[in-house]
Amino acid sequence: MRFGPPPLIAIDHDDYHAEFVGMLEDGRQCFLTTPFEPATGDSAGCEFVALYIFSAGGQLLEARIENLGPRATMDRQRRTALRDEWLLGLGTVHFGRIEIAPFAVERFGTTFGLVPRTPETDEDEWVVEAQPGNYMAFFEPWDSGIYDT
C-alpha cells in the first residue's frame, strides 16, 4: 500500500473526458470538464460545467463551477455556450498532457475536484477520482496519463 495520495497526477489529452486539458500561453494548466451528480432514488441529480486552472507546477489556482440543474431539463445549448465562452476567455490553449495535484473544493453543497480516496485495507491501492460523478479514476503509476471510467 502507498503511504499517501500522489503529489501529482498526469492527464493525457483525449477525445473523451480529457478533451479540454492543456497548457495556457503563460504556462498555467487547465482542465474544463462536466462533473455530475447522478439521478438516484428521489434525487433528480445535477449537471455542472467546471473549469479548473492550475499553476505551472500543478497547484489549483481557480475553480469556476456552474450548476446546470438536472440532466433531464438541462439546457444543452447553454452548457455548450458556457464551455465555449470559458475556453475563449483562456486565450490560446495548447491541448495536451497536464500534471496537476489532487484537490477538492466545495460548491453547491458538493465536493468537486480530483479527490484522493483512502485505501480501506492494507491490500487496497490509493485512487484519485474526478468528483462528483466519479467519471475518471486514476491509479498508479500516477504519471501514466490514463484513467479508468
pLDDT (tens digit per residue) in 25-49: 999 999 999 999 988 888 889 999 9
Could you tell me the pLDDT band of residue 79, with boundaries at 50, 70 and 90? very high
Question: Average pLDDT, stretch 102-127?
Answer: 90
Is residue 31 within 8 A of residue 128, CB to CB? The reply is no
**Residue 2: what pLDDT?**
52
pTM, rounded to two decimals? 0.92
Domain ranges of the chain: 10-103
Mean pLDDT of the chain: 93
Reported as a single tens digit per residue, the pLDDT across 42-73 is 888 999 999 999 999 999 999 999 999 998 89
